[in-house]
Structure 1
Amino acid sequence: MEFFREFSQNFHPLSEDALNRIFNILSIKKFPKNYELVSLGQKPTNIYILKEGIIRSYNIDIKGKEHTKTLYTPVITSGNLGALIKNEPSELIYECLTDCEVLECDYHDFYKLSLQHHEISIFHYKILQNIYIREESKILELQMLDATQRYKKLQENYPNIDNLINQYHIASYLNITPVQLSRIRNSYNY
């Protein structure tokens, strides 16, 4: 679980005791491309730390069009936090866009640990802060940047993304059509 040890250092240093307590509720899982970690309407139970691969969260509008909310790449947390906290069915689908390797953890087991151990509670809080900042940043990008700027930013954050996932998913994440994405890519000789 060296991977988790390094991951945790990015948020809050944990003692060996705290690490061992968390190790006991973690498992390493591998999922194939197109696997749904969370299906629409499913009550999720797990959170994930992405070690390898790309996951997306998305929903489908009444016309059947998919809207990608988030792209998850290593090393980042994934899971439908809103549905987990509210204990409600998911309004989002979480799908592996590539073969993925994750650390999987039952959210409620982790939450119980955070209530019992102060340093795990701080770690939990730091992760939630990170998720909030990440989501706020995405909202600001959609409001403040045009499609070309959003694409450039995506390229900076995920340098090889064009070679890893379908262009349709990239366009959906950028909130543009595949045709618009093609024009942007052609104008910059991507």
Structure 2
Amino acid sequence: MKTPLTHTIPFDDIFYGVTLSEEEKNFIYDKIEAVVVQKDEILFKQEDHINYQYYVHDGCLRTYYIDEHGKEHTLQFAIQHWWISDYIAYFGDQKAVLYTECIKDAYLFKITKANFEAIYNFSPKIERLFRKKIEKALVRHEKRILANLTNSAKERYLLFLKKYPDIEKHIKNYHIASYLGITTESLSRIRKEIAKN
């Protein structure tokens, strides 16, 4: 059952960078579904079929991978105005390899792959907008890989704080540690060193 759109769709945020006509807004309205997710709820898990991208209107989520030893590896946090999904599954037409967990009560808007295609066909300027977003996301992804390969744990933590300002109060230490690829003990030492300086 569809969650009522109790919030006005934030067109100016979701499609930031383009001016939409009333006709375009009305078309898009029918393609978007509102979703309310509670803290600790799993939005999707490994082996699920992934057909949605989610826009975070409010709240905070994270995607993570669980390896064969049961260890969690956080790939992404999604805060207000961010998009989240399992993109390996979404774009690769395969089952999910990740989990997505709500870590702060969230109000989301979700769009199926087919509805995104319909929006692109109806409004080429939106397709151009999202192509540019994907290009920027690819650049950020490669920068993160390089940072993980070359930066110290402290440098990675400082980059994390820059990327996700004010997020620490909403997430657990092990979430941050798993994102940085370090232990919670190492994270604690880094924080003490920064506070001392």
* TM-score for both structures, normalised by structure 1: 0.90
Matched, 1:45 2:46: no
Which aligned runs of 4 or more in structure 1 are off by greater than 4 angstroms? none
Matched, 1:14 2:14: no
Q: Which moved more, 1:127-136 or 1:163-172?
A: 127-136
- Structure 1's unaligned 5+ residue stretches are none
Structure 1 residue corresponding to 2:114, chosen from 94, 108, 129: 108
- C-alpha distance in 2, partners of 1:50/1:29? 10
- C-alpha distance in 2, partners of 1:33/1:75? 18
Structure 2 residue corresponding to 1:161, chosen from 157, 162, 167: 167
* TM-score for both structures, normalised by structure 2: 0.87
Within 5 Å, give how 1:4-153 maps onto structure 2: 4-10=11-17, 12-153=18-159
- C-alpha distance in 1, partners of 2:149/2:21? 41
* Contact persistence 1:22–1:110 (CA under 8 A): no
Query: How has the CA–CA distance of structure 1 residues 142 and 14 changed in structure 2, closer, same or farther, with 3 Å as cutoff?
Result: farther
- C-alpha distance in 2, partners of 1:134/1:16? 33
Q: Counterpart of 2:92 in structure 1: which amino acid?
A: K
* Contact persistence 2:13–2:81 (CA under 8 A): no
Q: How many residues align?
A: 189
Q: Which moved more, 1:105-114 or 1:165-174?
A: 105-114
Matched, 1:3 2:10: yes
Q: Using the TM superposition, give the Cα deviation of residue 16 of structure 1 relative to its aligned residue in structure 2, in angstroms.
A: 3.2
Deviation string, structure 1 residues 133-171 (Cα, Å, up to 9, x no partner): 232222122123211011112122223222110000000
Query: How has the CA–CA distance of structure 1 residues 142 and 49 changed in structure 2, closer, same or farther, with 3 Å as cutoff?
Result: same
- Structure 2's unaligned 5+ residue stretches are 1-7
Q: Which moved more, 1:79-88 or 1:129-138?
A: 129-138
Q: Which moved more, 1:24-33 or 1:167-176?
A: 24-33
Q: Using the TM superposition, give the Cα deviation of residue 78 of structure 1 relative to its aligned residue in structure 2, in angstroms.
A: 0.7
Secondary structure, counterpart of 2:15 in structure 1: helix
Secondary structure, counterpart of 1:53 in structure 2: strand
Quote the sequence identity (%). 28
Cα RMSD between the aligned structures?
1.8
In the other structure, the counterpart of 1:187 is 193
